[in-house]
Amino acid sequence: MRRDGITRKLGPALLGLSLGFFAAAARAELPSSGELIRTHDYAIDLAQTPVLSSTRVTGLGGAFVGMGEGLDGAAQNPAAPAYRFPWSRSHFDYELGFSFMSSSSVSNTDFFNSGRQVRGDQDFLFLDLALSLQFGRWGFAFSTGLQSYTLGRGVDTDSAERLVAQFALSHALAAYAFADGQLLIGAGQRSSVLSIGNETEIDDDSRVLFRALGAGYEAGVLIRPNEQPYRIGAAIRSAVDAKPSTSNKLSVLYEDDPDNALYLPDRVVVPWNVSLGFALQLGPRPLNPRFLDPNRVTEELERYLQYRARERRRKRAIAERRARAAGRDPSAELRALDAELATESALDALHAIRKKEELDRKLEQRYLSLSRSHVLISASLEVLGPVDNAVGVASFIDRRVQRSGRRASYSPRLGVETEPIAHWLRVRAGSYLEPTRFDDNPHGSRLHGTFGFDQRVFAWDVFGLFPEGSIFRAAGSLDLARDYFGWGVALGLWH
């Protein structure tokens, strides 16, 4: 009876252990490094270790979370959309951003720092679009980064069918400037999409075969005391774990072709990351001049003009009541009074325009009077979180295992900027340590050296689309490291 009692108690437990064992056995694990991927039970690690950004951020070695300004800063610090540049002289302002890179800059390099070069027969496309809108102390930013990879059906095939894998990472941010613009706080959402399709030479339109969606959150802070030469910034972003939509039942492409079969991932993960940074500016040029919102400066004038408008309406109403009380038709008196009041209103409007133009000239002169002499030093540290049971993008494309993101990785960054020829040329240089996400990379982390410049070129209002006196600049950047060469060019306004 005692043995039977023990059996009755252990039976369910043994059955559970047995089912768990067989379930684990049925769940295919990733094979050893270099072998073909024969399971969909894995993730793609979308960690970005090289600095892919504007010419200024690249030139500073990616050390920009402590600067946190403009669209350049929004990609580094979610608080940046609320930052107002010293040359901004209006309540509303905006900024547009665009960058592009093709496979000509990637092929035959170790772009992912995986220890393996990207093959020249693969087509790569990197495209970034961004927009920021500012209303006084509020700032909003929206951006989308697209990475597209196109290659033949398999590594060793002449098939006309091509595989298209697209990764899109989007950001939607809102930020506000507290304490007279000295404390900027921003937050928002970032989302990722993986879309896989195929196309043929007959039909260039890609047919979507698989899609995975995911979202995460991000927040940032920037401390910039007015008239002080330093800033401190920090950002934190949760992981984005994109999983196939419920309508996606497909787990293997080209299953009837074992050599070229593509086992689709169970997850696509952008790892969590934390960034800390500071900036220090030496020299007479201030790093943190106070922003003066014209709407706030002219509030008293607007209240006075509104008071005068109310008085005009009251004066007209009194004249009409008196005429009617005396039994007179007020039409003639009101026409004469309306002409007088219209003249007053026009003079008030003209006065407001002149005052705002005068304020605009003062703000412009205030900015132009700032010294150009400075040396900016910026430093930061970025930490990228681990991703469980993952491979890299190149591994997924090649269909062969190369594990990625098993542990957190660290990237210290440093940049220096100055203007050696005032009103004419700005130069910057930097360096950063790019970690490797791959345990089998024999070279490990690699040190980058970066360089960038802004060159004033010509004045042009682009047929009236830009303010009169707008001056354009040509900009460029270089990023050099072991088995890596990145470059960028840009055209923008000189400030």
Domain boundary among 338, 368, 398: 368
Note whether 192 and 168 are same-domain residues: yes
Mean pLDDT of the chain: 87
Q: List, as one string, the DSSP characters of 432-457.
A: EEEPP--TT-TT-SEEEEEEEEEEEE
- 11 contacts 3 by C-beta, under 8 angstroms: no
**Structural domain that includes position 320:** 294-368
Mean pLDDT of 198-219: 74
Note whether 77 and 160 are same-domain residues: yes
| 175 inside domain | yes
**Alpha carbons 49 and 412: distance in angstroms, whole number:** 11
Note whether 87 and 206 are same-domain residues: yes
Q: Return the half-sphere exposure (C-beta side, CA atoms, 13 A cut-off) of residue 345.
A: 12
Note whether 159 and 234 are same-domain residues: yes
Whether the per-residue pLDDT at 157 is higher than 50: the answer is no
Structure tokens given for 206: 């890609």
Note whether 238 and 350 are same-domain residues: no
Structure tokens given for 115: 């220890």
Q: Tell me what pLDDT residue 151 has.
A: 66
| 382 inside domain | yes
Note whether 239 and 334 are same-domain residues: no
| pLDDT cut 90: percent of the chain above it | 60
Structure tokens given for 236: 């934190």
At 339-393, the pLDDT tens digits run 999 999 999 999 999 999 999 999 999 999 999 999 999 999 999 999 999 999 8
Domain count, the chain: 2
Note whether 357 and 400 are same-domain residues: no
Note whether 98 and 167 are same-domain residues: yes
| 468 inside domain | no
| 239 inside domain | yes
- 134 contacts 142 by C-beta, under 8 angstroms: no
Domain boundary among 317, 343, 368: 368
Contacts of 25 (CB under 8 A, 6+ apart): none
**Alpha carbons 148 and 98: distance in angstroms, whole number:** 16
Note whether 233 and 305 are same-domain residues: no
Structure tokens given for 317: 């109403």
- 381 contacts 76 by C-beta, under 8 angstroms: no
Compare 195 and 285 and report the one with higher pLDDT.
285
Contacts of 296 (CB under 8 A, 6+ apart): 136
In terms of pTM, does the model score above 0.75?
yes
Note whether 187 and 308 are same-domain residues: no
| 9 inside domain | no
| 361 inside domain | yes
At 126-151, the pLDDT tens digits run 888 999 999 999 999 999 988 888 76
Mean pLDDT of 469-481: 93
| 458 inside domain | no
H helix or E strand, kind and range, residue 359? helix 331-368
At 39-76, the pLDDT tens digits run 888 999 999 999 988 899 999 999 999 999 998 899 99
Note whether 129 and 260 are same-domain residues: yes
Note whether 92 and 228 are same-domain residues: yes
What is the band of 325 on the pLDDT scale with cuts at 50, 70, 90? very high
| 179 inside domain | yes
At 414-466, the pLDDT tens digits run 999 999 999 999 999 999 999 999 989 999 999 999 999 999 999 998 888 88
Q: What are residue 196's DSSP bridge partners?
A: 165, 210
Domain boundary among 307, 342, 368: 368
Q: Are strands 43-45 and 267-270 parallel, antiparallel or unpaired?
A: parallel
Question: Percentages helix, strand, coil for the chain, rounded to the nearest 5?
Answer: 25, 40, 35
Four-CA torsion 15, 20, 26, 30, nearest 10 degrees = -160
